[in-house]
Amino acid sequence: MFDAALDHTAHAVLAVVRNEASELTETSEGVGFELAVIDKSNQNDIVYQVRGPNGVMVYRSHGAPIKPLAGAHDRGFGVARIGGEEFRVFSLATELDAATIHVAQPMARRIELMHASVARLLVPGAALMIALVLVVALTVRKVTRPLVRYAAALDDLVVETDTSVDGTGLPTELQSVSRAIDRLLAKVHESLVHERTLTADAAHELRNPLAAMRLQAQIARRSKHRPETDCALAELLTATDRAARMVDSILALARLDARTGVSIGDGEVDIGHLMQVIVSEFTATAELRGIRMTTSKDDSAVLGDEDALAIALRNLLNNALRFARTTVAVDVVHDEERVTVTVRDDGPGFTAQSKRRAFHRFFRGLEEGRASDGAGLGLALVLRVAQLHGGSVEIVQGIGGGGGVALHLPIRLTHRSSRDPVQDPASSHVAGRGQGCV
């Protein structure tokens, strides 16, 4: 800004002397005439010198030094030190160097003016900054007050709560976050309910086999006859097997309950092939009971967790074999949207009560007029696996009035070409061996 003022002053002075350059009178001493001050109350810190055609000084403003501010041929900006004082100088000449103008300003005056300007700017600037800080602090406090209240409400939540946190007053941008937290709290509460229910029910159900094991052990210990001892030990092994199956089922259900979302895997699972493998595991058990197993093959694939689906299929087959009299039929079919696995038997079927409670945890149906020796978790596991895969389970009509369960799974894959044609259930017999999970 200071240099621009020098430039403007030089051009203004040059405009005045340009037409008078030919009439400039040079002094013999070469110090020029010092112009008189007309208005001393409005003195300017900028001084100038005017040189004639031969480079001799002709005029100089009031206060300008006698010694030239710059060389006769200097042009543009420069710095000169005269009499111990430093000047910022701008030099400008007319055409053909008829006149040369040197305009200068003391550097000390520049620094003084700069300090004064900074002082005049700092006071209102500091006041404005303090005001801005106060306004921003109050605004932030007002805006964040709902957030602080919301955070305090989250801290006050107890594990057992099943209510959402009031997000009233939160900014619009955070309403979606509040709803997401409410959904998370609902999931956490549901998981806790599942865990506590499973723990309580498991503890209750395990008391029966443990009590039976203790009783049979005591009988075997007191018995003095080998047949009685062998019978007690056989019952002890049966109770042990039941407890072991129940523990395995509880662990499997706990692992599945720990998973969230409607999809627990993105692997491609060939349901038809997996069903054939599971069927082969149960063939030895079926043969021992005199039960014929038939299957129909479908080469459909779904996205999911193969291990979890295998648990569901094993439980379907194991339940069917427990209640079947002579036949168990397994069908795997598909349409454009889903794959359906249906396991049917020719047993007593489902009563009205068992249909309502079939998928409840630890509910055991009647087997030959008495409660089944299963853990009551088989269909609960099937339901949980179906839910995690975005599918469903339903009770269907079995063979000759028997029972049946259909597992529906969304395909979410383009159906592949079948390697083998779908067979009639009565035309396929699969052999194998294995133990089911109850």
Domain boundaries in the chain?
2-112, 172-258, 267-427
pLDDT tier, 203 (very low <50, low <70, confident <90, very high otherwise): low
- Provide CATH code, domain 2-112: 3.30.450
Q: What is the mean pLDDT of residues 41-66?
A: 77
Question: In a 10 Å sphere around its CB, with 0-12 CB exposed, 13-18 middle and 19+ buried, how is residue 300 labelled?
Answer: buried
State whether residue 420 is helix, strand or coil. coil
Rounded average pLDDT over 374-390: 76
* Token code pair at residue 40: 């001393």
Find the mean pLDDT for residues 351-370: 64
Is the confidence at residue 45, as pLDDT, over 60? yes
- pLDDT, residue 214, reads 79
Q: Name the token pair of 436.
A: 């089911």
User: Does the pLDDT at position 415 exceed 60?
Assistant: no
Q: With bands split at pLDDT 50, 70 and 90, how would you rate the model's confidence at 132?
A: very high
Higher pLDDT, 429 or 156: 156
360-375: b or e for each residue (b if 16 or more CB lie within 10 Å)?
ebbbbbeeeeeebebb
Q: Are strands 338-345 and 327-334 parallel, antiparallel or unpaired?
A: antiparallel
The stretch 209-216 carries a mean pLDDT of: 74
Which of residues 112 and 307 earns the better pLDDT score?
112
pLDDT higher than 90, residue 136: yes
User: Which of the given ranges, 199-208, 245-254, 293-302, has the highest pLDDT on average?
Assistant: 293-302
Token representation of residue 11? 């051009």
Mean pLDDT, residues 1-12 taken together: 85
User: With 60 as the cut, is the pLDDT of residue 41 above it?
Assistant: no
Return the higher-pLDDT residue of 431 and 270: 270
Topology, domain 267-427: Heat Shock Protein 90 (3.30.565)
Residue 202 pLDDT exceeds 70: no
pLDDT band at 71 (very low <50, low <70, confident <90, very high): confident
* Count of positions (residues) in the chain: 438
Which tokens hold the place of 234? 């056989």
Task: Give the pLDDT of residue 266.
Answer: 67
* Stretch 230-242: mean pLDDT: 77
Q: What is the pLDDT of residue 259?
A: 61
Q: Which residue has the tokens 């997401």?
A: 180
Percent of the chain scored above 90 by pLDDT? 4
Residues sharing a CB contact under 8 Å with residue 180, sequence separation 6 or more, in sequence order: none
Q: Give 140: exposed, middle or buried? Use CB within 10 Å, 0-12, 13-18, 19+.
A: exposed
- pLDDT recorded at residue 384: 80
CATH fold of 172-258:
Helix Hairpins (1.10.287)
